[in-house]
């Protein structure tokens, strides 16, 4: 049986030196390349091509582009009856880009069903740089002075690449994803990239599309390659999220 071979990237290679995503392996699904670095230019180039880094401590940087791709159209976020009741009765508050470092570290913390983490120290440093440069963003759910949940990711043009979410209190990550979806829908974003499916994401409305279709959407939504800046400056009550109009002038 022949060994599996993928492209090895050198840190000195140009940021756009990725192979075509159609060359990704079928098993493991989407593995495309290894090596390179986590510099901002390479990461932005990867995302706009449908590629993301995902690896554990002790491994080289691994680059992935699975087929099919898990995505969530912002206007199709599913609010179940139970979640709708929780939204109406919640006293939590949503803030944007005020605690990125806290959100990414909370996402990296061990979980009962997942004692390890792929959000390594190198990954944290890389995404904090992207945040400082205006590419990465956090949506935070606050219960008073306590962080109850959140999500972080990267926005390029009209596409948001979700990286991870967490809940410290019931519905924390769902509230964060609802807020993210409402803001992005109001600003005519094409998709939230969820990368790999999970029951949690599926329950929120995420679905699978072919990698080829995802690439077509990327080509349109990520051009031009610009930062998204139209985040609400003021906090929003969770109870008000359902009434947000899909109109960017509201923000």
Q: Which CATH architecture has domain 7-66?
A: 2-Layer Sandwich (3.30)
Q: What angle is formed at CA 192 by the lines to CA 190 and CA 197, rounded to 5 degrees?
A: 135
Q: Average model confidence (pLDDT) for the chain?
A: 93
Specify the DSSP element, H or E, that contains 102: helix 100-108
Which pLDDT belongs to residue 82?
95
Rounded Cα–Cα distance for residues 20 and 159 (Å):
20
- For 136-181, write each residue's pLDDT tens digit: 999 999 999 999 999 999 999 999 999 999 999 999 999 999 999 9
Rounded Cα–Cα distance for residues 240 and 93 (Å):
9
- For 32-60, write each residue's pLDDT tens digit: 999 999 999 999 999 999 999 999 988 99
Phi and psi at 134, nearest 5°, equal 90, 10
Mean pLDDT to the nearest integer, 217-236 = 97
Mean pLDDT to the nearest integer, 76-105 = 96
Tell me the domain boundaries of the chain.
7-66, 70-250
Domain 70-250 = CATH 3.40.630.70? yes
Mean pLDDT to the nearest integer, 184-193 = 96
Hey, what's the torsion of the CAs at 184, 47, 157, 92, to 10 degrees?
A: 20
Rounded Cα–Cα distance for residues 145 and 115 (Å):
27
Given a cut of 70, is residue 3 above it in pLDDT? no
Q: Does the reported pTM lie above 0.85? A: yes
């Amino acid at each position: 049986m022949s060994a599996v071979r993928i492209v090895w990237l050198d840190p000195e290679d140009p940021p756009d030196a990725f192979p075509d995503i159609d060359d990704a392996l079928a098993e493991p699904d989407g593995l495309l390349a290894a090596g390179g670095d986590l510099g901002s230019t390479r990461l932005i180039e990867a995302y706009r091509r449908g590629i993301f880094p995902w690896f554990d401590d002790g491994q080289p940087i691994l680059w992935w582009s699975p087929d099919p791709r898990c995505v969530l159209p912002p206007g199709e976020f599913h609010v179940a009856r139970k979640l709708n009741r929780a939204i109406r009765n919640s006293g939590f508050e949503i803030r944007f880009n005020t605690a990125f470092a806290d959100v990414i570290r909370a996402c990296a913390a061990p979980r009962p069903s997942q004692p390890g983490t792929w959000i390594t120290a190198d990954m944290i440093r890389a995404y904090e740089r992207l945040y400082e440069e205006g590419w990465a963003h956090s949506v935070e759910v606050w219960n008073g002075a306590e962080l109850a949940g959140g999500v972080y990711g990267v926005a390029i043009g009209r596409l948001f690449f979700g990286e991870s979410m967490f809940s410290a209190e019931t519905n924390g990550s769902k509230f964060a994803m609802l807020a993210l979806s409402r803001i992005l829908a109001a600003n005519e974003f094409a998709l939230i990239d969820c990368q790999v499916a999970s029951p949690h994401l599926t329950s929120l409305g995420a679905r699978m599309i072919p990698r080829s279709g995802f690439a077509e959407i990327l080509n349109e939504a990520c051009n031009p390659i610009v930062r998204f800046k139209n985040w609400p400056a003021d906090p929003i009550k969770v109870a008000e999220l359902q009434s947000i109009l899909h109109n960017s002038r509201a923000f």
